[in-house]
Structure 1
Amino acid sequence: MPKTYQGGCLCGNVRFAAKGPAGNPHTCACKMCQRHSGAPITAWVEFPASCVAWTGPGGAPRLWRSSEISSRAFCPDCGSSLGAVDDAPVVALLLGCFDQAGRAELAPQSQSFRARAPKWVHVDQAPKSQTA
C-alpha cells in the first residue's frame, strides 16, 4: 500500500494528502524559489498530480502562473506558500507544509542552484549532488 503524506497551510484552510513514493526530494536556491518562499533555500518533494488530493475546507490552493511550465500554489486566506503545480503534471510540495516533514524518505537528496544561495548560507552541509 502506498504511503500517504499530509500537510497544509498555516491556517488549515488548504490541506493535502499525497500518496505514493516521494519523488525527487531536493533543495533549491534559485531566485524564483527564494521569492516564492521568502527563504534563501527551499526544500521540495514531488508527486504526480493524480496522487495529490486537496482535502481542506478551502479546497485547492490559489495558483499564480510563475513560468511557462509551472504555477505557484498558496492559500488564499493566510498566504502560505504550498508549492508548485507544474504542467508535467507534477505537484511539488514545500517540505515545511508537511505534518511530518522529518520523515526519512522526504530528506533532500540533491541541491539545485547552490551557487545562487547567499554566501552566508552554509550549503556545504547540503546534499552533495547538484544541478546548475
Structure 2
Amino acid sequence: MKPRAFEGGCLCGAIRFRATGAPVKPHTCSCAICRRHSGALTLSWVEFPAASVAWIGPGGRPATWRSSAFSSRAFCSTCGTTIGAIDDDPVVALATGAFDKPHLKDLAPTAHSYVSRRPRWWHVAAEARGRRED
C-alpha cells in the first residue's frame, strides 16, 4: 500500500510541501514563540520525520529564523505565511493551517501544549459545539 501524502503551502504558492506517511503528535500550542510566530492565540501543528517532507514548490525550502536552541521557524519569504518549524531532531512540524486539506481527521489535534500561557478569557475546547461554519 502506498503511504498517504499530505500537501500544502503558503499563500502565494512559492513554498509547497508534500509530507508522506503518518502524521505524528498533532497538537495545538499557546507558548509565547508559537503565539508570536503565528499572530494567533494558539498554533496547530503536526509533525513528520524530516526525511518524509519534500519541498516541491518553485520557492524550494522555506526561509527560517532560529527561534530556540533546538528549532527554527519556517515561513515564506515572499508572502510571510507561517509554514512551521524545522527542528534539529530531525523533525518538521507543519502548521495545520498551511495544509490544502486541514480538516482531515489525521491532522486533528489530540493535545494542547502551554495551556497556562493562553489568555485567561480564552478557553481551549476540543471542538465547537452546536456551531458549524462551512
Same fold at TM > 0.5:
yes
Q: Over aligned residue pairs, what C-alpha RMSD do you find?
A: 1.0
Which residue pairs with 2:83 in the alignment? 82
Cα deviation digits, residues 48-105 of structure 1 (max 9, x gap): 0000000110000001011110000000100111000000000000000000000001
Does structure 2 retain, via aligned residues, the 8 Å contact 1:27–1:108?
Answer: yes
Which residue pairs with 2:20 in the alignment? 19
State how 1:1-132 maps to structure 2 within 5 Å: 1-123=2-124, 125-126=125-126
Does structure 2 retain, via aligned residues, the 8 Å contact 1:111–1:126?
Answer: no
Percent of aligned pairs with the same amino acid? 56
Partner of 1:36, secondary structure, is helix
5+ residue gaps in structure 2? 128-134
Partner of 1:24, secondary structure, is strand
> By how many angstroms is 1:118 displaced?
1.0
Partner of 1:35, secondary structure, is helix
Q: Give the 4+ runs in structure 1 shifted more than 3 A.
A: none
Which residue pairs with 1:130 in the alignment? none
- Scaled by the length of structure 2, what TM-score is found? 0.92
Number of residue pairs matched by the alignment: 126
Cα deviation digits, residues 1-28 of structure 1 (max 9, x gap): 2110000001010000000000000000
